[in-house]
Amino acid sequence: MTTPQQDAVAPGPLPGAAAATHCPYCALQCAQTLTATPGERLPVAVAGREFPTNRGGLCQKGWTSAEVLRASDRITTPLIRTADGGFREAGWDDALDLVAGRVRDLQAESGDDAVAVFGGGGLTNEKAYALGKFARLALGTRLIDYNGRFCMSSAAAASNRALGMDRGLAFPLADLGGADAVLVLGSNMGVTMPPFVQHLAGVRERGGLVVLDPRETVTAKLARDGAGVHLAAVPGSDMVVLLALLHIVLAEGLQDDAYLADRVEGLDDVRRSVAQWWPERAEAATGVPADTLREVARLLAAASPSRGGRGAYILTGRGVEQMAQGTDCVNAAINLALALGLIGREGSGYGPVTGQGNGQGGREHGQKSDQLPGYRMITDPAARAHVASVWGVDPAVIPGPGVPAVQLLSSLGTADGPRALLVHGSNVVVSAPNATAVEERLRALDLLVVCDLVPSETAMLADVVLPVTQWAEEDGTMTNLEGRIIRRRAAVAAPGEARSELWILRELAARLGCGALFSDDAETMFDEMARASAGGKADYSGITYARLDAGEELFWPCPASAPGESAHPGTPRPFLESFPTPSGRARMIAVAHRGPADDVRPGMATYLVTGRVLQHYQSGAQTRRVKELAQAQPEAFVEMHPLLAERYGLTEGAVAFLATARGEAMARVRLTTDIRTDTVFMPFHWAGAGSANRLTNDVTDPTSSMPEFKVTAVEIRAAHRLRPASELEGAAR
């Protein structure tokens, strides 16, 4: 637990001074102490710090995070594209005047929606809030969305419709330690966030860890080695596993009847919907033995509070969420958790394992196309009136809802689409599905402005690149996977002319006629954001920097207290008494399995799944610049079973050519028996010929607009050599 002394270390780039902050990468937000090291190669030394999520530990990415501060190609001055296709260095006034002038001209010609904004789930709460406000007030555009649409949108949509609120984990991570059973669906936290797995030690020792994944990942091995269960289901059949587990629970009378009667509605419809998925039929669809499905259902039931167990948890990750039926799949997981009486009980629960560093806070305060701060819907007149009163504008000034990320990106540069795009905290050329098509749309724009700290693949397409600060150079807050608000503190000055997005947005807003509505002070923007969130689902109005700096552990919702009342303590477990639905009860949602949109077929008889490796993060723009990490994982690869490789005439280290209905890629083969014989795996951290997202499907979930990253049919054959990406376009199949 963080003490006031630990979290009150003075910020600032003083020689030898220490700053208490948090890792720049995943949503675990491991605590770090950064100590300034004047005269050394790196400006700060990194040490792990005691905190409930990481307990002092860091992963390889966290330990090497200071390397990115002084990346050899760090952008330290604004860049403007020249007539010959290169860049020239520019002063801030020149760069910002150019951007503001082009924005005004394009909007004068084509309307306010001629300019769009694309944000990121790694931005601080303050920057995410300011970006949403900037889009709607300074630009007057309705077209804003962010890369969190690729991360948490299906889990968010499912939680909202079933539980009335999207709060990520609705319990502190440490609660997992006492459980008898934990079912992990489509998450490999042993690789993506290694300090997480210490919270699974207790359940692993008790033989209660169950992992659903087509690969025997590091996390699946933890289950197997601890006498738990690995369910290696056919890719895209995860929902059938969940429907079958609920079928067994109901058929064998293992449900928590008292909890269902008191706290849940919709059981009858769900009971009918799962009746068709008896274990033997599910085995035929998933490849998971019927008896294993029964074993897992009984294990979860025995661990549940109604049967005297220590407790059980169901956790979902991108593997089951990044599908065209991702929202329904998460609702199937929530249905199972509700049937067992897990949600809103201490020691039990359901939760999605958030990926990006501020994946939770980044979607709460205005970056999403249909939301205003506080997780308010932009179409709600009361929400618009409240936020407008904080902003000091007429509600009519706030535009209506925009469009989600895939639709936004696919419309860029088209006859009726945006002519300009401002990108903050995202590298869509690598991270978006159907990435080749996305790159084409970016090239069709009249103006592309990218704020970045290194020359990412997206930044290299820009007309203007604006250098920004990174985590060790700025103050702010983040909201981790538990809904815990934490402080980010500056430890060192930024190099060259790099500036915070708060400063950039204020300066651009001033040039567009509304600079007085913005501040470049993080605490000022946080206080305003807190007021704007008041009364919303994600209510931060009772949180202040002073409370965070005093070491208080504050989870939202944390409303402001009335004068004379004690400060609200925050809400680490929000569903203990009721659910924030009209009835106060959770809703079970009947769902039906549809399968992948691009399923295997003759000519494309193999499944492609994608994911991460230990050493790299997201698009790899930062981690590929860290020598230690790049040496450990220097290039893209395709992982396959030896039997599948033999079928395609491939051997270890050989080059495989892969093609889907959207594009082509090439990568070296890695052989392993830790994967199904009908499936190959590619990590998505690389650009160019090895880009996995040249292959992935941009079809979207009808509820969440999440693209189907996680499973697609792929053609595979041997290639003679690795070729550059330019040679792959239009390659014969």
Q: What's residue 355's pLDDT? A: 84
Distances (CA, A) of 731 to 604, 606, 665, 711, 717: 16, 19, 10, 22, 13
The domains of the chain are located at 79-150+358-555, 153-352, 606-728
Q: How far apart are CA 99 and CA 109, in angstroms?
A: 15
The two most distant CA atoms of the chain are separated, in Å, by 75
Cβ neighbours of residue 75 under 8 Å, at least 6 residues apart? 452, 453, 454, 455, 459, 465, 467, 498
Q: What's residue 721's pLDDT? A: 72
Q: What's residue 40's pLDDT? A: 92
Sign of CA dihedral 521, 524, 526, 528: negative
Give me the residues of the chain with pLDDT under 50, please.
Answer: 1-14, 730-733
Cβ neighbours of residue 193 under 8 Å, at least 6 residues apart? 26, 27, 28, 59, 353
1 burial type by CB count under 10 A (0-12 exposed, 13-18 middle, 19+ buried): exposed
Residue whose token pair is 């397409």 = 461
Tokens of 609: 């799944």
Note whether 327 and 706 are within 8 A (CB).
Answer: yes
Amino acid (1-letter code) at residue 622? Q
Residue whose token pair is 């607009």 = 705
In DSSP terms, 467 is beta-bridged to 452
Q: How far apart are CA 457 and CA 65, in angstroms?
A: 20
Q: How far apart are CA 669 and CA 218, in angstroms?
A: 19
Q: What's residue 6's pLDDT? A: 34
DSSP state letter for 601: B
Which class in CATH covers the domain with range 606-728? mainly beta
Q: How far apart are CA 155 and CA 612, in angstroms?
A: 19
Q: What's residue 733's pLDDT? A: 30
Which class in CATH covers the domain with range 153-352? alpha beta
Q: How far apart are CA 193 and CA 549, in angstroms?
A: 26
Q: How far apart are CA 80 and CA 102, in angstroms?
A: 13
Q: What's residue 729's pLDDT? A: 54
Note whether 108 and 102 are within 8 A (CB).
Answer: no
Q: How far apart are CA 564 and CA 567, in angstroms?
A: 9
Of residues 635, 636, 683, 626, the one with CA closest to residue 61: 626
Q: How far apart are CA 334 and CA 158, in angstroms?
A: 8
Tokens of 448: 């592309």
Of residues 693, 697, 690, the one with CA closest to residue 728: 690
In DSSP terms, 609 is beta-bridged to 681
Q: What's residue 5's pLDDT? A: 31
Rg (CA), the chain: 25
Query: Does a cis peptide bond (omega within 30 degrees of 0) precede residue 557?
Result: yes
Phi then psi for 562, rounded to 5 degrees? -70, 155
Per-residue three-class SS string for 249-309: HHHCCCCCHHHHHHHEECHHHHHHHHCCCCHHHHHHHHCCCHHHHHHHHHHHHHHCHHHCC
Q: How far apart are CA 34 and CA 28, in angstroms?
A: 18
Q: How far apart are CA 321 and CA 216, in angstroms?
A: 19
Note whether 488 and 477 are within 8 A (CB).
Answer: yes
| CATH number belonging to domain 79-150+358-555 | 3.40.50.740
Q: What's residue 725's pLDDT? A: 64
What is the per-residue pLDDT across 393-419, written as a single tens digit (0 to 9) for each? 999 999 999 999 999 999 999 999 999
What is the per-residue pLDDT across 598-629, written as a single tens digit (0 to 9) for each? 999 999 999 999 999 999 999 999 999 999 99
Q: What is the pTM assigned to this prediction?
A: 0.95
Q: How far apart are CA 143 and CA 133, in angstroms?
A: 12
Q: How far is CA 654 from the centre of its chain?
A: 33
In DSSP terms, 33 is beta-bridged to 20, 47
Q: How far apart are CA 717 and CA 667, in angstroms?
A: 11
Q: How far apart are CA 651 and CA 655, in angstroms?
A: 9
3 burial type by CB count under 10 A (0-12 exposed, 13-18 middle, 19+ buried): exposed
